[in-house]
Structure 1
Amino acid sequence: MKRRSSAVLLCAVFALGAGKLQAQNKPKVKYLSEPLIKSIYTADPSAHVFNGKIYIYPSHDIDAGIAENDNGDHFAMRDYHILSLDRIGGPVTDHGVALDIKDIPWAGRQLWAPDAAYKNGTYYLYFPVKDKNDIFRIGVATSKNPAGPFKAQPKPIPGSFSIDPAVFTDTDGSTYMYFGGIWGGQLQRWATGKYDANGSKTDLMHDDEPALTCKVAKLKGNMLEFDGKVKDVVIVDAAGKPLLTKDHDRRFFEGSWMHKYKGKYYFTYSTGDTHLLAYAIGNNPWGPFVYKGVFMKPVQGWTTHHSIVEFKGKWYIFYHDTELSGKTHLRNVKVTELHHNADGSIQMVDTYTEAK
């Protein structure tokens, strides 16, 4: 026992010395942008221009003390804070709690990434949250003020499921919701059109099949219901073939967004477990969308979730990383300019570099 204890002690001393050496040699990180706010942790920023200002609708990360897992149980958000700024680079206002999970009658747990829209004097906050049966649904809350507070509808949107609602209003006034996320987002459990609680936890068992993909539905004029059936957002390669599940660098995972540029519809999304932001272009809001490439390299942290907005003649991408905490579930939102090339492609964004 003495010999073993001595050996253990020697190993511990060696490990401590090695740890110090690694810390000394650890590359310094230079970030492209600063966190927009440091008083709370925020993520998944959905940005919109309302009344000449930028309003950001993010997740509000908290440390709930839950162990990290593939279902994302450690992302245990309980409310939303809305942020605003008059100009890029200017001061950011935190408008406080806009909606709390205790004020959503049908909610169970986990208020994940929201989005917002405006129509006819009313602002709409769309949010995913697990219901009392632990199934993700998408709800909607309303306010006369873009900063809230918002009042939730008594029930989720009929026919809604999964996570990450992204709401796009076209130039003709029609509004569409894009939504869905696999793994913890439960999209794979809806493969048959009905929820299967015993379905696959991930999508990894179907490599040679067309990848699970985002969903899209048109919203009715009241902005509270789907107008017609939920459809697949089909992403194809240059030859017109759907992307396959095993194509982890290109297939859809979560975090969709839609923006329109020079008459074309840009469907952007996260590849999830490969941490890339990719884009595909179509001729209408329904698709199909032809995959064009990656436009943002992986951020620091596991997840990548973004929004793209035009403001005062320039385009910006809002995103998050883990600069403040170094923990994947405690993130901070950021913004940087986004550039479209003359041929319609999007220039690459690299959010950080490692300096020697």
Structure 2
Amino acid sequence: MNKIIIACLGLVSCATSLFAQNPFIRDQFTADPSARVFGNKVYVFPSHDILATEGKGRVGWFCMEDYHVFSSENLTDWTDHGVIVTQNNVPWVRPDSYSMWAPDCIERNGKYYFYFPTAAKDTVTYGRGFTIGVAVADKPEGPYTPEATPIKGVRGIDPNVFIDKDGQAYLYWSAGNIYGAKLKANMLELDSEVFTLGELPTKGLKEGPYVFERNGIYYMTYPHVENKTERLEYAIGTSPLGPFKIVGAIMDESASGCWTNHHSIVQFKNQWYLFYHDKDYSPKFDKARSIRIDSLSFNADGTIKKVIPTLRGVGVTAATKQIQIDRYTQLSEQGVSIAFLDTLNTFKGWKTIFNQQGAWAQYNSVDFGSKQLKTVSIHVRAADGAVLQIRTDNVDGPVIAEITIPKNAEWKTIDAAVLKAIKGVKNIVVLAKDTKTCEVDWVSFR
């Protein structure tokens, strides 16, 4: 499996454009997404999984050497701003640690403070294990300048920073328990004793704290292993340091069996979102993960409605872009399945396979704009030929295109006329008109 994943790896360059659906970063492994709203954009600061090899990390374990930052104005189109911090450019970090784990970032007084955990090279001064450092920038995308030393008095992983309405900042982290303390205004030093937040579950691993406030309720959210893998849970209180009362789960254990989950929760343009991760591009190795986003909402009493993970994710897809119907909203119960395009390079994505008449895949929220689009293109292969229909709204909706696919063993792009005028945001359904096996990569309109 390691050889397979290594074949997929590659760093992206600055300002690379990416496109949404889950996972929403689609050209590298990412995990532990810390999402923040700065101005009119969402910025996501994840950790960056790579594959360990002999002499480079611990084979078969988590391996991270740097951090990227991504941004979006619409949660659909994402820009990779490249590497912002790497283990080799932080003065106090052991340069061969490969342990640049889950980070966070916060803005204060026009400065951006990026918090990250890792191992120090000076174990006499800072001890063995993890401590937490800070890098500072004038813009969310950097460049970031790391501080010369880590934060004094902090030992652990998964830093999270929260600034309350009165301006007081707090730092949270985990190391067996979840801890919290006040931060000084300089955002670089503790300004109180360290508190153990002991009202949280006492059995099983808990880590990854993420705190936010809504309508006077302080939410302490965290991954917790109650059984074999992590689920996302939360507790609530009336102050940033608790006491907290355990409420329940935000998201259940992953159906994929991914051992970890790690998250953040933000409000953007009047909607709340949960950022989290799974192992989409690496189904057999859960130390190579991928970040996702789904909508989150609250009950009237302030409790969080459980989030059911989706492949469709969030955001609106322009009809003129390549619509990846394998990131479906719904599938028919029979006759359709999803598989990798190339198991040796999973970053090529997935395909949708139809092999039964009437089988369908629905993809919601496609924006056809205000001008009539006249042609539909589909990237497809069907060894024996096939016929597909595209409908709007739902499986019984109006037919807007019927595509006859010639016999072809290789991938080809086939064009057909759009039969009806269609404008605005619509759901689309791709439906098989016969029993012949047909594989679809993407659909696009022009």
Question: In the alignment, is the contact (CA less than 8 A) between 2:52 and 2:59 conserved in 1?
Answer: no
Are residue 233 (structure 1) and residue 164 (structure 2) matched?
no
The residue number in structure 2 matching 1:328 is 286
Are residue 83 (structure 1) and residue 70 (structure 2) matched?
yes
Q: 1:346 aligns to what SS in structure 2?
A: coil
Q: 2:37 aligns to what SS in structure 1?
A: strand
Opposite residue 278 of structure 2, the aligned amino acid is D
Distance 1:72 1:45 in 2: 23
Q: Which has the larger radius of gyration?
A: 2
Are residue 62 (structure 1) and residue 50 (structure 2) matched?
yes
Alignment of 1:105-144 (within 5 A): 105-108=91-94, 109=97, 110-132=99-121, 133=123, 134-144=128-138
The residue number in structure 2 matching 1:259 is 212
CA drift at 1:74: 1.7
Aligned counterpart in structure 2 of residue 340 of structure 1, from 291, 298, 322: 298
The residue number in structure 2 matching 1:46 is 34
Distance 1:306 1:65 in 2: 27
Aligned counterpart in structure 2 of residue 293 of structure 1, from 243, 248, 252: 248
Question: In the alignment, is the contact (CA less than 8 A) between 2:106 and 2:161 conserved in 1?
Answer: yes
Question: In the alignment, is the contact (CA less than 8 A) between 1:80 and 1:99 conserved in 2?
Answer: yes
Distance 2:71 2:264 in 1: 15
* Pair 310,101 (structure 1): closer, same or farther in 2 beyond 3 Å: same
**CA deviation map 1:180-220 (0-9, x unaligned):** 1xxxxxx24xxxxxxxxxxxxxxxxxxxxxxxx20001110
Question: In the alignment, is the contact (CA less than 8 A) between 2:294 and 2:310 conserved in 1?
Answer: no
Distance 1:72 1:230 in 2: 34
CA RMSD of aligned residues (A): 2.3
Structure 2: gaps (5+ residues): 1-20, 312-330, 335-446
The residue number in structure 2 matching 1:271 is 224
Are residue 312 (structure 1) and residue 298 (structure 2) matched?
no
CA drift at 1:59: 0.1
State the aligned residue count: 281
Question: In the alignment, is the contact (CA less than 8 A) between 2:115 and 2:133 conserved in 1?
Answer: yes
CA drift at 1:173: 1.2
Question: In the alignment, is the contact (CA less than 8 A) between 1:97 and 1:149 conserved in 2?
Answer: no
The residue number in structure 1 matching 2:309 is 351
User: TM-score normalised to the size of structure 2?
Assistant: 0.60
Distance 1:342 1:235 in 2: 24
**CA deviation map 1:304-331 (0-9, x unaligned):** 1000001111100000111112121111
* Pair 321,285 (structure 1): closer, same or farther in 2 beyond 3 Å: same
Distance 1:274 1:100 in 2: 29
**CA deviation map 1:270-317 (0-9, x unaligned):** 103441111100000010100001120112311010000011111000
Distance 2:68 2:243 in 1: 35
Alignment of 1:176-255 (within 5 A): 176-180=170-174, 187-188=175-176, 213-235=177-199, 243-245=201-203, 248=204, 253-255=206-208
CA drift at 1:73: 7.4
* Pair 81,340 (structure 1): closer, same or farther in 2 beyond 3 Å: same
Structure 1: gaps (5+ residues): 1-32, 181-186, 189-212, 237-242
Question: In the alignment, is the contact (CA less than 8 A) between 1:297 and 1:351 conserved in 2?
Answer: no
The runs of 4+ residues in structure 1 deviating greater than 2 Å are 352-356
Q: 1:255 aligns to what SS in structure 2?
A: coil
**CA deviation map 1:28-83 (0-9, x unaligned):** xxxxx51111111110000000021000010011011379x9x9972120000001
Q: 1:36 aligns to what SS in structure 2?
A: coil
CA drift at 1:350: 2.3
The residue number in structure 2 matching 1:160 is 154
Question: In the alignment, is the contact (CA less than 8 A) between 1:65 and 1:74 conserved in 2?
Answer: no
The residue number in structure 1 matching 2:438 is none
Question: Which structure exhibits the higher relative contact order, with contacts defined as CA atoms closer than 8 Å and separated by 6 or more residues?
Answer: 1
Question: In the alignment, is the contact (CA less than 8 A) between 1:137 and 1:163 conserved in 2?
Answer: yes
Distance 1:107 1:61 in 2: 18
Where is the strand percentage greater, Structure 1 or Structure 2?
A: 2
